[in-house]
Chain A
Amino acid sequence: MKLLAPGHRGCAGCGAAIAVHSILSATGKDVIVVSPTGCLEVISTPYPESAWEVPWIHSLFENTAAVASGVEVARRALGRKDETKVICIGGDGGTVDIGIGSLSGMLERGHDVTYICYDNEAYMNTGIQRSGSTPYDAATTTSPAGKISFGNDRPKKNTPAIAAAHGIPYVATSSIAYPADIGKKVKKAIAIKGPKYLQIHTPCPTGWGFDSNRTIEVGRLAVETALFPIYEMENGKITSVKKIKRKPVEEYLKVQRRFAHLFKKEGGDAEIKKIQETADANAKQLGLDM
């Protein structure tokens, strides 16, 4: 049985929905899921319908990790000695921006919770606005490209590093392009006691501007260009990286409308060079190149 039932209202090719399938296939039924406000919540729970075949709670946009903390301690207080895992599945906005206070609190307090951020790199639910996880030069509705702008003028926030700085046992990144990788990491995470943080890259055809049959391909390109590196950190140390035969960043950028201005506007070349430098730095820092 699919634990996120078909018939949810996600766009065709929704990366987040693919991520949830991979996550729940790994956890199985014995989980309680907490989600913030955002696309995933809206596509899956229009009352009286719900796509969730596992217990699921949504409270607000910025308190997911705190609600999950409550669920976890409640089960402890009730003396439940079962194997039920508490996991969060939340968007980048709800995780790296407005929810980072409650996330930090949950990580620091050491709750036995696996927090999984599905990273579609903007506030999609409200119409593709910029988040702290939006990459450099991506055009969003609040960081549009314009006569004097190349779009988002800040680099993507390094949230896995922030999570790792809490001294938690397990941090990992993954991508919907590699479902087996997600499955392996989710299984590993939930088996470890204490707080865990996973960030899964989930391309969004609607928000990024690509055809809905290319979600996996776009996800793979992000990894293969080293713009979304895949790695694991255990107790603060990098313990695995996904090695790649690296491709130039243009191959990733040119298939998405959010970067289209880089190929049209004067000065776009120089911007692409800067993005390539970020990819090079990622590859060097993590030793991504085969």
Chain B
Amino acid sequence: MKVIEGSYAVAEAVRVCKPHVISAYPITPQTHIVETLSQMVADGAIKAEYVRVESEFSAISVCIGASAAGTRTYTATTSQGLALMHEALFNAAGMRLPIVMTAVNRSLSAPLSIWNDQQDTISQRDTGWIQLHAENAQEASDTIIQAYKIAEYRSILLPVMVCMDGYILTHVYEPVELWEQKKVDAFLPEFDPVHVLDPKKPKTFGAFADPSLYTEFRYMVQEAMEVAKKKIVDIANEFRDEFGRYYGGLIDEYRAKDAETLILAMGSVIGTIKDAIDEMRADGIPVGLLKIRAYRPFPVDTIRDAVAGAKAIIVLDKNISMGYEGALFTDVKSALYGKSGVTALGFILGLGGRDITKQTIKDMVAKALEAMKSGKVQECEFVDLRKEVL
């Protein structure tokens, strides 16, 4: 156990996964990850080619080329950088290239903000990448190791983004258990690609498909996501057996079994919610938590089962689909459609780095209790809105 910065922990996890090619472009608050990796390369602590590209678009494109040429690849970015990658994210998934990325969560301009929310990764929801959200630095780094195993699984072959909240997790110092190389090697075998760019066996990558074939390619990605639903759980279990740490499979639960009110959220806010739950439980309020670990593939059945006994759910979104509501709220409601009569409240909060306190959580629970009593539900609202500056 070592007290280290979250970014350093992630870089360490990347190191033990032995990627052949790393390519990234600096952007706050992802910088400490790529600076640490650069130092490792400079010191010979990692035997990777580090490509210092001129943009995030080229960073992901280098990974695309390198992955197609048969190597394990890594990149990291956030916010504007992730948005700049957008087009290439679809391409990487469609070409079935198992690239792994740390997607540091940060808000998007305008107004410019370097602070945390989750608008950036939510906006890449439909690119075909598997999205896993981490609660703390240990999980963000352990999940990198799991991510390669998920991505490279033969009947998945999809890229994975491991999402971690900017600053809150990237810049925090916490005790982290590091990895023995031997154990990681046993857990994560060498990348053994099916298709490789090689003159000895010439293959065409990135052909175009006409209307008689395009749908089937898309369907195969969807099928791979279904495989991933099972495999993410299996690999989380294997990881627990090997390393003794577990963060849930697709979701995790906290004091949820007998809870009347369930809070659903992703990322670092989970810690605050757990603390608030302990205090509310002490006051006799039966409240629990569903942590969404896999945002894509979306754990529809798992959420349905977990919500079955609850009377109300509260969904937290550090993002908003403008003109509608928080994306997680929409997804959760659609998962429950026709299966549950639960009262559902959605909250938009924590945008652009605004703090989420235990009191914020308690206030939302109070609102849910009130709504159940009165039958009046405001479906989606902004939390802690400063009306005086509007």
Interface residues of A (CB under 8 A from B): 29-32, 34, 41-42, 45-50, 52-60, 62-63, 66-78, 84, 101-102, 104-105, 108-109
Contacts and interface: CB of A to CB of B under 8 A. Distances in A.
A52 B202 contact: yes
Contact of B70 (A29, A69, A78, A109): A78
5 contacts: A49-B207, A63-B58, A68-B65, A74-B49, A78-B70
Contact of B198 (A48, A50, A55): A55
Contacts of A62: 57
Contacts of B54: 101-102, 104-105, 108
- What 6 A-B pairs come out closest when comparing CB atoms? A70-B65, A66-B61, A74-B69, A63-B61, A58-B206, A67-B65
A169 to B, nearest CB: 20
B61 to A, nearest CB: 4
A75 B69 contact: yes
Given A67-B68, A70-B73, 20 more contacts: A30-B199, A49-B207, A50-B204, A54-B199, A54-B202, A55-B197, A55-B203, A57-B68, A58-B205, A59-B91, A59-B206, A63-B61, A69-B65, A70-B67, A73-B51, A74-B21, A74-B71, A75-B69, A77-B71, A102-B55
Given A52-B202, A77-B71, A70 B51 contact: yes
Contacts of A63: 57-58, 61, 64, 88
Contacts of A69: 51, 53, 58, 61-62, 65
A77 B57 contact: no
Interface residues of B, number: 43
B208 interface: yes
Interface of B: 20-21, 23, 47-49, 51-55, 57-58, 61-71, 73, 87-88, 91, 95, 197-199, 201-210, 213
Contacts of B207: 45-50, 58
B213 A47 contact: yes
Contacts of A56: 202-205
A71 B69 contact: yes
Contacts of B51: 69-70, 73, 109
A34 B204 CA distance: 10
Contact of B69 (A50, A59, A70, A102): A70
Given A54-B202, A58-B206, A66-B53, A77 B88 contact: no
A88 to B, nearest CB: 10
Nearest to A62: B57
Contacts of B63: 70
Contacts of B68: 57, 67, 70-71
Contacts of A78: 20, 69-71
A47 B211 CA distance: 11
Nearest to A68: B65
Nearest to A108: B54
Of B23, B52, B64, most A-chain CB atoms within 10 Å? B64
Given A31-B199, A32-B199, A102-B54, A59 B61 contact: yes
A35 B198 CA distance: 16
A110 to B, nearest CB: 11
B68 to A, nearest CB: 5
Of B47, B51, B52, B213, most A-chain CB atoms within 10 Å? B51
Contacts of A84: 199
Nearest to A29: B199
A89 to B, nearest CB: 14
Contacts of A58: 205-207
Contact of A60 (B49, B52, B91): B91
Contacts of B213: 47-48
Contacts of B208: 41-42, 45-47
A52 B204 contact: yes
Of A49, A60, A73, most B-chain CB atoms within 10 Å? A73
Contact of A102 (B58, B202, B205): B58
A77 B65 contact: no
Given A63-B88, A102-B61, A57 B67 contact: no
Contacts of A41: 206, 208
Contacts of B66: 70-71, 73-74, 77
Contacts of B199: 29-32, 54-55, 84
A109 B197 CA distance: 22
B368 to A, nearest CB: 46
Nearest to A73: B49
A78 B21 CA distance: 10
Given A32-B199, A58-B207, A71-B197, A102 B57 contact: yes
